[in-house]
Copies of this chain bind each other. A is one copy, B any other.
C-alpha cells in the first residue's frame, strides 16, 4: 500500500472510531468526548493498530484543536474576559505553582536529578483547555462567569508554562539564563496585548473587514487566514498554537460577520475535531505501561497532578464562591495534548526516559478522561449558587 493510500485509510479509521465511540457514549448518556478519545485508543497502536501517529494525522489533530479554540474565541468578547481578569490571573498563577511545586518536590524526594525534576514538573503544569472548553460549549456554559475564568486562566497558564519549559530546556541543555526567560515573558505578553488590543481596535473601526475583499463571498476564508497566521505566530514565539487561534477568534469575533462566520466554521471544526480527540486516545501506550511498578507510579503521578492543579486553581477562584471554585478547579485539570507535547520534549532532550514518558502521557490522558463526566453537575451547581450571589452572571 503506498503512503498516500495509507494516510487516507488512517484518516478514515480515526474518524470512524471516534464517531463510533461518540455513538456508544451518547447512547449510554456519557460525555461524547470521552467516547471519541476511547475510540482513538481502540483504533490506535494500543489495540487494533489501524493507525499510527504520523506527521499527517498529527497535523489533522492539531488543526482540530486550533479550530476548537478559534470557535471558543469567536464566542468570547474581550471585555467579558477582562471583567474576570483578577480571578483568572489568580487561578492561572496558583494553578501553575501548585502542580509545579508538587512535581518538583516529588521528583527530588524520589532522588531524580534536577533536569528530570524540572521537566516532570513542567509536564504536570500545563493545562489543556481544549477538552474543558469543548464540554462547556456543548453545555452552553462558555459565557458564564466560570467559563470565562477558565478561558482567561488558560491563557495565563500557557504564558507561565512556556517560561517553565524554557527554564527546563535550558537546565537540560546546561545553558540556563534568567534573561532568556524574562525576554520570553515580555514577548509573550506583548504578542497577546498587541493582538488583542490592536486586533479588536482594527475590527471595531471596520467591522466589514472580513468580507471587504472581492474573493470573500463569505467571511470564512479571511477568518481562516487570520486563524492560521496567529496560530503560526503564537507557535513561533513558543506559545501554544491554540492560544493564537483563541486570540484570533476573539479578534475576528468583533466583525459584523461574526454569526455568519460561526455558522461556516462549525462544519469545518466538526470535521476536524474528532481527529484531535482520536489522536489523544491513540497516544495511549498500554505495552509501555505493562509493569506493576510503572502502573503504581502512574497512579501516584496522576493523583498528584489532579490534586495539585485542582487545589491551586480552586484557591485562586475561591473569592467567586465555593461552587464556582470547584468548577474552575476541576475544569483546569486536563493536561491533554499539552502534557504529551512537554513529555515529548523532555524525552528528546534526554531529561526523562521512555518509562517516565509513558507515565506522563498516561497521566495526561487520564486527567483528560476523568474531567468531562463531572462537569455538567458542577456547571449546574455553580450557576445555581451564582444566581443567588451574583446578578452579573448570564
Give the interface of A toward B (CB within 8 A): 1-5, 7-9, 11-12, 15-16, 19, 22-23, 26-27, 32, 55-56, 58-59, 62-63, 213-215, 218, 220-222, 224-225, 228-229, 231-232, 235-236, 241, 264-265, 267-268, 270-271, 274
Residues of the B chain whose Cβ atoms lie less than 8 Å from the Cβ of A62 = 4, 8
Kindly report which residue of chain B lies nearest to residue A223, judged by CB atoms.
B271
Interface CB pairs A-B, < 8 A, 20: A3-B55, A5-B235, A8-B232, A8-B235, A8-B241, A9-B236, A12-B228, A12-B231, A15-B225, A16-B229, A19-B213, A19-B221, A27-B214, A55-B55, A56-B56, A59-B59, A220-B270, A221-B271, A267-B268, A268-B268
Residues of the B chain whose Cβ atoms lie less than 8 Å from the Cβ of A4 = 58, 62, 235, 241
Please determine whether B267 and A214 come into contact, CB atoms closer than 8 angstroms. Answer: no
Please determine whether B215 and A19 come into contact, CB atoms closer than 8 angstroms. Answer: yes
Residues of the B chain whose Cβ atoms lie less than 8 Å from the Cβ of A265 = 267
Please determine whether B16 and A213 come into contact, CB atoms closer than 8 angstroms. Answer: no
Q: A5-B236, A15-B224, A218-B270 are in contact. List 12 more A-B contacts (CB 8 A).
A: A2-B235, A4-B241, A5-B241, A9-B232, A12-B228, A19-B221, A19-B225, A55-B55, A218-B267, A221-B270, A264-B267, A268-B268
Please determine whether B23 and A225 come into contact, CB atoms closer than 8 angstroms. Answer: no
Kindly report which residue of chain B lies nearest to residue A274, judged by CB atoms.
B221
Neighbour of A271 across the interface among B55, B224, B241, CB < 8 A: B224
Please determine whether A215 and B11 come into contact, CB atoms closer than 8 angstroms. Answer: no
The 7 A-B pairs with the shortest beta carbon distances in the complex, nearest first, are: A8-B232, A12-B228, A5-B235, A264-B267, A22-B215, A9-B232, A23-B215
Instruction: Report Cα–Cα, A167/B81, bound state, in Å.
Output: 64
Kindly report which residue of chain B lies nearest to residue A57, judged by CB atoms.
B59
Please determine whether A232 and B5 come into contact, CB atoms closer than 8 angstroms. Answer: yes
Q: How far is the CB of A224 from chain B (nearest CB, A)?
A: 6
Instruction: Report Cα–Cα, A15/B16, bound state, in Å.
Output: 28
Instruction: Report Cα–Cα, A271/B393, bound state, in Å.
Output: 36
Q: How far is the CB of A182 from chain B (nearest CB, A)?
A: 22
Residues of the B chain whose Cβ atoms lie less than 8 Å from the Cβ of A7 = 59
Q: How far is the CB of A128 from chain B (nearest CB, A)?
A: 15
A220 in contact with B267 given A56-B56, A225-B15 (CB within 8 Å):
yes
A228 in contact with B15 given A26-B214, A55-B56, A265-B267 (CB within 8 Å):
yes
Q: How far is the CB of A376 from chain B (nearest CB, A)?
A: 18
Residues of the B chain whose Cβ atoms lie less than 8 Å from the Cβ of A214 = 23, 26-27
Neighbour of A228 across the interface among B11, B236, B267, CB < 8 A: B11
Residues of the B chain whose Cβ atoms lie less than 8 Å from the Cβ of A220 = 267, 270-271
Q: How far is the CB of A259 from chain B (nearest CB, A)?
A: 14
